[in-house]
Structure 1
Amino acid sequence: MPHITVIGGGFAGLTAAVTAAETGAKVTVYEAHHTLGGRARTSEGPYKTNEGPHALYSGGPHWSWLKQRNLLGPLAPIPPLEAARLRLHHKGALRRTPPFAMLKLLRRTSRQAPVDVDFMTWATEQAGEEGASAAAHYSAVALFHHDPGSLSAAFVQERLRRATKLPPEAHYPRGGWASVIDRMAARAWNLGVRMETLSRVDALPQDGPVIVATSLDSARRLLRDDSLTWTRGRTALLDVAVRTRRGDAFAVSDLDAPGWIERFTAQDRTLAPAGEQLVQGQIPIAPHESRADGIARAEHLLDLAFDGWRERVTWRREATANGRTGAVDLPGTSWRDRPAIDRGDGVYLAGDQVAAPGVLSEVSFNSALEAVTLALRIRERLDLKHA
């Protein structure tokens, strides 16, 4: 078995490292940050936040992979009473149910959406403009784009179906994503993987295959390949801790514009000190909009669903996430059109914006398995499910 170098110690990089080491390969992981995890890091301190709302979808291939290796760990289920407090912001008010027209697009028997038409055009033909607009905005919970209706109808429909499936596919690792990353890192270590943190790589090593498991921007700079680009989203992030008060909503989905806020301590009390609630919001913003525009929309949702929240704030953090929302497919494109995993000369890409199927982190997982398969020239392919 050759020596494999993995550049990037996030979810994709650790998936690749564990998978390669399980075949007997020697693996070294280089991570530029002082801790592993990449986008899946959970902040340290009394308020445990991720870089934007995170969830694991149980319908994806990475779920069974993690479960088989005992890497999932304890999960934080949403109590039924909390789930009943999901609210929808529609026509300026909070509602408990979506518009009837939107439900037409959520039926499993609805027509398969085309790849080469934008979602708004296709959905309007199926359910009318009001239902199409509400469905497009709701889908932002799984794609974080400022204009979901302009994207490929097939791309949006897949995410809409996954986000609204019953029972829900979204699950939350107790203690945040860092708990999963820690278990993955421990398994890699036990398999003999060498992991170097605070190790930025500026030139590709020459001692075997290399898997570049970084953001597409970092990969483009490292490989000096200007073709490594893809459409992406930009979001404003707002994390707020407030003193507990009965009656607060569990989550609010904005159907008038893309946006979502969620009280994550509803399912996991370990994320904030006793007597406090942690609310996280991710609001897509257009190229011409500022972070302040997105934060203002998040605050408006908080005003509606968390009475007196401003006087209850104990901690607050704002940020902007550029290109950290995964791949976004425009009409006429699918995952197959994104930057190829095999870059030639023993170099392979893994991450959430490359040519692999899946939703959100599933793209990172699938691309990591594919990269290892190609790097090691495994005849019997690994457990990779193509959509």
Structure 2
Amino acid sequence: MRTHPRKHITVVGGGLAGLTAAVTAAESGAAVTLYEAHRTLGGRARTAEGPYLTNEGPHALYHHGPHWAWLSRRGLLGPMASPPAREGVRFRFHRDGALRRTPPLGLLRLARHKAEHAPVDTDFLTWATEREGAAAARAAAHYSAVALFHHDPGSLSAAFVQERLRRAAALPPEARYPVGGWGELIDRMAGYAGSLGVRTETAARIDTVPENGPVIVATSLAAARRLLGDDRLHGTGGRTALLDLAVRTSRGDAFVVSDLDAPGWLERFTAQDPSLAPAGQQLLQGHFPVGPGESGADGIARAERLLDLGFPGWRERTLWRRDSLATGRTGAVDPPGTTWRDRPRIDRGDGVYLAGDEVAAPGVLSEVSFTSGIGAASLALRQLDLPGGESPAGLDLKHA
């Protein structure tokens, strides 16, 4: 009996976007090969090996996002930690040079506005100032940086920032954390992809576009630009100083310190997941966006000033530390007059599709990667006349 070969889709990049695309394609019957240049999967969701289970900067999964339901339906969520209620009294706000227990009331009022009520073509600071005054507007802009990784959130589209402010300030909090680090989630996704027949090759750098069927490029835009030779692929993400710190446990340490005087965030991740560090130790992670005229050291200096306030004696208690600078790896941002639809399209023509956190797909943080991964796979399936080419929530495949 003669058999017909399965239609093939290639995925380049094994982060959240690439794994989501590979799973979506394989569930619809395509033969999928996934290539990852690193020796392990995960991209920016990769969890470090060793006693301190860190990621590339602070990570959170918003449980009202579309990818939460996608993962849940497939049994891939696994154990998730919530922000600890018992730590609520130690959520601190750095405002006017001091730590405070509460944010400005104007920030809380701004956070109640729906994103669709904020204009696309006006910057957030102007729009927010008209409603609650300049001080509350600046504080709200800086608070929203937890979901932006940008040095000047107030200069961005009001609609774009407001969506992130509203969700980052939601009560009860939307943020959830995979127990054991994001690598646990990646392992579950990779295992499920393997059960569907996805062939994965790690430590495999792809320098030319494969020709055997549709190709989904799920890498950074810089890597996609090199692979595709397309100089139009430029992102709008900024530069962010990242700090990872392990300290001996001390009563009274803050859970979160949100900088309202400038964009910045420190979080004690072991408060919700003690497994991230050895017993008796706490793991802190923070991100501090830096502007064009600043260095990574400038961002780290701001982090240390917050540490002095929220974690007394941290220098003497430090057991391990890592500083780094993330450049162009923090997701796209939308300036006034633009939306996610103005980012590089998923469909690049000639059977090539993009996925990642800087492409034309809606969502907050990792939701962009998930949504674009599903969208890219759906378009590739349509090209092969396979079922499953459905539009993910909020994305019209006709214009992707």
> Which range, TM-score by smaller chain?
over 0.9
Count of aligned pairs: 387
Aligned to 1:384: 392
Aligned to 1:51: 56
Q: TM-score, normalised by structure 1?
A: 0.98
Whichever residue aligns with residue 273 of structure 2, its letter is D
Aligned to 1:113: 118
Q: Deviations over 1:193-215 (max 9, x none)?
A: 00000100000111100000000
Q: Which segments of 5 or more consecutive residues in structure 1 lack a partner in the other structure?
A: none
* Greater shift in the superposed pair: 325-334 or 110-119: 110-119
Aligned to 1:187: 192
Q: Indicate whether 1:64 and 2:92 are aligned.
A: no
- Please say if residues 104 and 110 of structure 1, whose CA atoms lie closer than 8 Å, have aligned partners that are also in contact: no
Rounded Cα–Cα distance in structure 1 between residues aligned with 2:113 and 2:336: 22
- Please say if residues 20 and 374 of structure 2, whose CA atoms lie closer than 8 Å, have aligned partners that are also in contact: yes
Aligned to 1:229: 234
Determine helix, strand or coil for the equivalent of 2:178. coil
Rounded Cα–Cα distance in structure 1 between residues aligned with 2:379 and 2:315: 53
Whichever residue aligns with residue 335 of structure 1, its letter is W
Q: Deviations over 1:75-122 (max 9, x none)?
A: 122321113211000000101111122222012468711001110111
Q: Indicate whether 1:317 and 2:322 are aligned.
A: yes
Rounded Cα–Cα distance in structure 2 between residues aligned with 1:132 and 1:268: 33
Q: Percent identity?
A: 71
* Greater shift in the superposed pair: 123-132 or 80-89: 80-89
Whichever residue aligns with residue 277 of structure 1, its letter is Q
Which of the residues 10, 17, 25 maps onto 1:20?
25
- Please say if residues 255 and 267 of structure 2, whose CA atoms lie closer than 8 Å, have aligned partners that are also in contact: yes
Q: Indicate whether 1:336 and 2:341 are aligned.
A: yes
Q: TM-score, normalised by structure 2?
A: 0.95
Point out 4+ residue stretches in structure 1 off by more than 6 angstroms.
none
Which of the residues 37, 42, 51 maps onto 2:47?
42
- Please say if residues 140 and 148 of structure 1, whose CA atoms lie closer than 8 Å, have aligned partners that are also in contact: yes
Q: Which segments of 5 or more consecutive residues in structure 2 lack a partner in the other structure?
A: 1-5, 396-400
Rounded Cα–Cα distance in structure 1 between residues aligned with 2:313 and 2:320: 15
Aligned to 1:241: 246
Rounded Cα–Cα distance in structure 1 between residues aligned with 2:119 and 2:389: 30
Whichever residue aligns with residue 79 of structure 1, its letter is P
Q: Deviations over 1:34-64 (max 9, x none)?
A: 0000010000000010000001001111000
Rounded Cα–Cα distance in structure 2 between residues aligned with 1:278 and 1:257: 23
Rounded Cα–Cα distance in structure 1 between residues aligned with 2:306 and 2:124: 25
Determine helix, strand or coil for the equivalent of 1:138. helix
Q: Indicate whether 1:136 and 2:141 are aligned.
A: yes
Matches within 5 A, 1:335-354: 335-354=340-359
Whichever residue aligns with residue 390 of structure 2, its letter is L
Aligned to 1:262: 267
Measured on the aligned residues, the alpha-carbon RMSD in Å equals 1.2
- Please say if residues 350 and 364 of structure 1, whose CA atoms lie closer than 8 Å, have aligned partners that are also in contact: yes
Rounded Cα–Cα distance in structure 2 between residues aligned with 1:215 and 1:260: 24
